[in-house]
Amino acid sequence: MNKNSKILALKYRPQTFDDLIGQEVVAETIINSIKVNKVPNAYLFTGIRGIGKTTIARIVAKAINCSNGIDNLCKDSLCENCEAITNSRHIDVLEQDAASKTSIDDIRDLIEFSRYGPTSAKYKVFIIDEVHMLSKQAFNGLLKTLEEPPEYLKFIFATTEIKKIPITVVSRCQRFDLPRIKSTELFDFIKKIKDKENGKATDEALKLIVKISEGSVRDALSLLDRALLSLDSNAKLDLKAAQKIFGYFNKSQLIDLFELILKGEEAKVVETYRKIYDQGIEPKVFINDFLELVYYFKNINFLNTESTNFSLNDEEFLKIKKLSNNLDDETLLLFWQFTLRTLEELDIVNNQNLSIEMFLVRLMHLKSLKKIDDFQINEDKVKSSDENQESKNKENKDQTETINQIKNVTQEEKAKFAINEEVKAEDKNLINTFEQLLKVCTEKKEIKLKYELEKNVNLVQFENNRIEISFNDNLDKNFVKDLSLKLFEWTNKRWIITFSKTKGELSIKDKEKIKKIELINNAKETQLYRTIIKKFPDIDLTDIETPKED
């Protein structure tokens, strides 16, 4: 490699419009505006990091101030203005970082400085990077000068957060939205840089760098710099070495894991994941890559190797295409939802590795939804086991579907036993009255839900999977959602819960209080109580316990 103290991102930073990659439309528009002498008062460049916002700002500053004119812009031998701007020492080109100078006082100094014309250049140029970091007062202070600046003054803004800039400022600028750099263009670019630096790297390793950089040239060059420095001068960077350096694993392992999930081979799935984990892969990186793979399975017929951002090679691409022929969209969409939910769970669990393993096992159970025939469980078997209960045939069908959803591929021999157990459980969970609902809450240990029902709910009507209630101010705000979910879980039916203006019955707790008061008042009318009160006039009756029935 060449001995040079500059990092690659600075060493190969574009100096002219011809050096830019992926921004041809922007460059052509700016050049044409300069040629016809219609340079706007302010430019605004926006886009992701590392795609050339600040770089283009400097090139524009050179283009409008080049001593040779726009038709003969400096390339190799630089004029005095271009050389000074390139080295960040031109007195008329001021580059400011809005992240460190955000206040109205900084903008006042800028405006005061703008009162004086340029010293040696045609235009005085203010480049403000990360302009969205300016305060609201600072933006307001810029408005008048921005709309009607002196002829010699030009503003160039760069930002990654366009939505944070007031619309009054945006409307006074000529806005350019810089796109991400295409994968093929970025690959060709870093390959040329690698050759110039006499670096040794395979195309597969470079494609991995392109994928990780996500369209950012600066990120790609920084990764290439890191990769080449990580190896000996005679060593060659291959895909395996690059994956180890950047903490990525072979996508073919993930595809094999996906295939095992579809086959329901639980032991092999867990074993394969543990091998991936032992390579040093973080659970969040794994789950994001898994999410990406689900996307490829869903849309593989509309993609090619290039449109996957070089995430897949030809062999992996063809394997996904083959496996996807046996998958329906519904299964893949369910996989997508489960993966997103697991990504959220990783933020609240202590051992993320175990959470991933359970996630993979859950996916196998979910896959069983689409493979009911493979388990040799059908409705006829359920019906034959309940020939003497014709009135419950419809319920048994629902029960069979529920069982098949949670049954593992290795449970074929236990299927009949599981069905019988679920039938019994379903009989217990019939909910036709408010009292039965409370009973089920007790059996399922849903104490909080039972407390809300007893303490803060007044029943108005209860019938046909519909509950109408009124409530007091203490009712939990998530009560309806929690109750609806539990009722569906217990009965496999959708319930409607509505609020009524009617007062309804007293709550269970209020009824118990009234009943208790009545019992105490009745007890005070008895001869026994009168006798006791005569001997102990200071006592009071506060509670009564009734004998429990056997």
pLDDT tens figures, 341-364: 888 888 888 888 888 889 898 888
DSSP-derived pairing of the beta strands 496-499 and 174-177:
unpaired
> Between 121 and 390, whose confidence is greater?
121
pLDDT at 421: 45
pLDDT at 423: 41
Tokens of 57: 């700002």
Tell me: pLDDT of 535 over 90. no
Q: What angle do CA 67, 72, 75 make, to 5 degrees?
A: 90
Report how far residue 228's alpha carbon sits from residue 550's, in angstroms, rounded to the nearest whole number.
82
pLDDT at 308: 66
pLDDT at 282: 83
Amino acid 235 reads A
User: Taking Cα atoms as reference points, which of 485, 505, 486, 492 lies closest to residue 440?
Assistant: 486
Per-residue pLDDT tens digits for 373-418: 343 334 344 344 444 444 444 444 444 444 444 444 334 444 444 4
pLDDT at 97: 86
Mutual angle of helices 283-299 and 314-324, in 10-degree steps: 70
Q: What angle do CA 206, 51, 31 make, to 5 degrees?
A: 125
Tell me: pLDDT of 443 over 90. no
Question: Mean pLDDT throughout 474-498?
Answer: 83
**Right CATH number for 183-246 from 2.40.50.140, 1.10.8.60, 1.10.645.10, 3.30.1660.40?**
1.10.8.60
Mutual angle of helices 434-443 and 447-455, in 10-degree steps: 150
DSSP per residue, 340-408: HHHHHHTTT-S-HHHHHHHHHHHHHHHHGGG-GGGGT--HHHHHHTTTT-GGGHHHHHHHHHHHHHH--
User: What pLDDT band is residue 444 in, cutting at 50, 70 and 90?
Assistant: confident
User: Taking Cα atoms as reference points, which of 491, 409, 503, 506 lies closest to residue 455?
Assistant: 506
Q: Count other Cβ atoms within 10 Å, centred on residue 339.
A: 19
Q: What are the sequence ranges of the domains in the chain? A: 23-177, 183-246, 251-370, 375-427, 434-499
Q: What percent of the chain lies above the pLDDT cut of 90?
A: 16
CB 374 within 8 A of CB 406: no
Which stretches within 182-250 are classed as H helix? 183-196, 203-213, 217-229, 239-246
Q: What percent of the chain lies above the pLDDT cut of 70?
A: 85
pLDDT at 132: 92
Most confident range (mean pLDDT) of 154-158, 324-328, 358-362, 480-484 is 154-158
**Per-residue b/e over 281-303, b at no fewer than 16 CB within 10 Å?**
bebeebbebbebbbbbbbebeeb
CA atoms within a 13 Å half-sphere pointing along the CA-CB vector of 152: 14
Question: Mean pLDDT throughout 43-66?
Answer: 92
Beta bridge partners of 462: 467
Amino acid 77 reads S
Question: Mean pLDDT throughout 180-184?
Answer: 87
Tell me: pLDDT of 44 over 90. yes
Tell me: pLDDT of 16 over 80. yes
Report how far residue 467's alpha carbon sits from residue 482's, in angstroms, rounded to the nearest whole number.
14
pLDDT at 309: 61
Least confident of 20-34, 54-68, 534-548: 534-548
Q: Which residues contact 479 (CB under 8 A, 6 or more apart)?
A: 449, 452, 456, 457, 471
Least confident of 133-137, 257-261, 511-515: 511-515
**Which run of H or E residues covers position 466?**
strand 466-471
Q: Count other Cβ atoms within 10 Å, centred on residue 116.
A: 12
Least confident of 201-215, 297-311, 449-463: 297-311
User: Taking Cα atoms as reference points, which of 97, 18, 91, 30 lies closest to residue 60?
Assistant: 30
Report how far residue 65's alpha carbon sits from residue 80's, in angstroms, rounded to the nearest whole number.
10
Tell me: pLDDT of 228 over 50. yes
pTM of the full structure: 0.58
pLDDT at 412: 44
> Between 47 and 471, whose confidence is greater?
47
Per-residue pLDDT tens digits for 171-180: 999 999 999 8
CATH number of 23-177: 3.40.50.300
Strand order in the sheet with 466-471: 457-463, 466-471, 496-499
Q: What angle do CA 97, 153, 71 make, to 5 degrees?
A: 100
Report how far residue 433's alpha carbon sits from residue 431's, in angstroms, rounded to the nearest whole number.
6
CB 130 within 8 A of CB 160: yes
Question: Mean pLDDT throughout 239-261?
Answer: 82
Tokens of 247: 């903490």
pLDDT at 474: 80
Tell me: pLDDT of 10 over 50. yes
> Between 538 and 106, whose confidence is greater?
106
Question: Mean pLDDT throughout 295-321?
Answer: 76
Architecture of domain 251-370: Up-down Bundle (1.20)
pLDDT at 131: 92
Least confident of 123-137, 155-169, 506-520: 506-520
Q: Give me Rg for the CA atoms of the chain.
A: 36
Question: Mean pLDDT throughout 82-98?
Answer: 89
Report how far residue 30's alpha carbon sits from residue 55's, in angstroms, rounded to the nearest whole number.
14
